Amino acid sequence: MYCLACRTEYREGFDRCADCGAPLVPEPPPAEIPPHEDWTQLRVVSTETEAKLIQGYLQSEGVPCALESLVFHAEPFNFGPLAQVRVHVPAARVDKANRLLDRLAAADEPLVSP
């Protein structure tokens, strides 16, 4: 079992990542973004944790997702563009990804169970 957000491998019997709470999937995450696909920025969020939760959720629903962090880790805090994490999906999957995130927001359900 694998966490697609953290890229961590788990033994059988686990269903959620102990670090970020994302659902685990049976297949390992892809090594890198396939170069032949056109990718589109879906969202910009302000924390890497939120981005990883979105990534894990989308990937668990079958939507490939990549993150582009602009966070400058050498400083104790970031603001403005240096605090952004961009969430990208293949252009062909933008509509599905938006529907999934909109449905999640409308249901007011957390990405992680309490």
In a domain, 102, yes or no: yes
Q: What is the pLDDT of residue 76?
A: 63
In a domain, 113, yes or no: no
In a domain, 37, yes or no: yes
In a domain, 91, yes or no: yes
Q: What is the pLDDT of residue 81?
A: 62
CATH classification of the domain holding 47: 3.30.70.1530
In a domain, 13, yes or no: no
**pTM, rounded to two decimals:** 0.60
Q: Which residues of the chain have pLDDT under 50?
A: 114
Q: What is the pLDDT of residue 72?
A: 64
Which residues constitute the domain of residue 70? 33-107
54: left (phi over 0), alpha (psi -120 to 50) or beta: alpha
In a domain, 12, yes or no: no
Torsion of CA 30, 19, 42, 26, to 10 degrees: 40
> pLDDT of 26-57, one tens digit each?
877 665 555 557 899 999 998 888 899 999 99
How far CA 99 is from CA of 9, 63, 77, 103, in Å, comes to 29, 11, 33, 6
In a domain, 87, yes or no: yes
Split into its structural domains, the chain has a count of 1
In a domain, 23, yes or no: no
CA geometry: angle at 30 spanning 27 and 31, to 5°?
A: 130
User: What is the maximum span of the chain, computed from C-alpha positions, in angstroms?
Assistant: 41
Q: What is the pLDDT of residue 35?
A: 59
